[in-house]
Amino acid sequence: MSYGNLETLYRQVIMDHYKNPRNKGLKDGDDFYKIHLKNPTCGDDITIQVKIDNGMITDVYQDGTGCSISMSAASVMSETIKGKTVEEAFKILDNYLNMVKGEKFDAELEMGDAIVYQGVAQFPARFKCATIAWKALAQVMDEHNGNCTCDHEE
């Protein structure tokens, strides 16, 4: 049976992260940056915790509720940026946002499983799902860099 475009969005990797999320569950401790984002129109609710040592992202945790795209993206994001510097993470983030928007992006840039979200470009209604965790990351890194926008609600 043909599922049309659906297969370009719901890739095996995405559904695997949805069913078996990585770095799921929040940790105690105040050495984490922590951001809680919600999309009140659809109910996505996500919290991410990031530890940054000397400009290096050393630990990431995520938790929340939402659709397969938003939840898997949080899992993928946590894996992709762990061990990266803030500067590298910003590069991946910008590239990812361009990719899911359907704009020009650098296909050579190493971004792990995040590359499978290319299909989102054909589902503009799901753009917010694919980006909510990444937007939380952007806020964490802004806060770390001292540029807190304090716009914690998506």
Those residues with Cβ within 8 angstroms of residue 97's Cβ, 6 or more apart along the chain or in another chain: 131, 134
Exactly one of 25, 41, 53, 54 binds another protein (CB under 8 A); that residue is 41
Establish if 109 lies at the interface with another protein (CB under 8 A).
no
Q: Which residues 51-90 are close enough to bind another protein by CB under 8 A? A: 65-69
Kindly state the smallest distance separating residue 127's Cβ from another protein, in Å.
12
Establish if 3 lies at the interface with another protein (CB under 8 A).
yes
Of the ranges 2-10, 24-32, 96-104, 142-150, which one interacts with another protein (CB under 8 A)?
2-10
The three-state secondary structure class of 137 is helix
Kindly state the smallest distance separating residue 64's Cβ from another protein, in Å.
11
Of the ranges 9-17, 29-37, 89-97, 138-146, which one interacts with another protein (CB under 8 A)?
9-17
Establish if 19 lies at the interface with another protein (CB under 8 A).
yes
The torsion angles phi and psi of 139, rounded to 5 degrees, stand at -70, -40
Q: Which residue's CB is nearer to another protein, number 16 or number 59? A: 16
Q: Which residue's CB is nearer to another protein, number 1 or number 150? A: 1
Establish if 9 lies at the interface with another protein (CB under 8 A).
yes
Establish if 124 lies at the interface with another protein (CB under 8 A).
no
d(CA 85, CA 29): 21
Cβ atoms < 10 Å from Cβ of 84 = 20
Q: What one-character-per-residue DSSP string does 109-134 give?
A: S--GGGGGGGGGGG-GGGHHHHHHHH
Query: DSSP label at 66?
Result: -
Cα–Cα distances in angstroms (integers) from residue 121 to residues 110, 118, 136, in the given order:
19, 6, 20
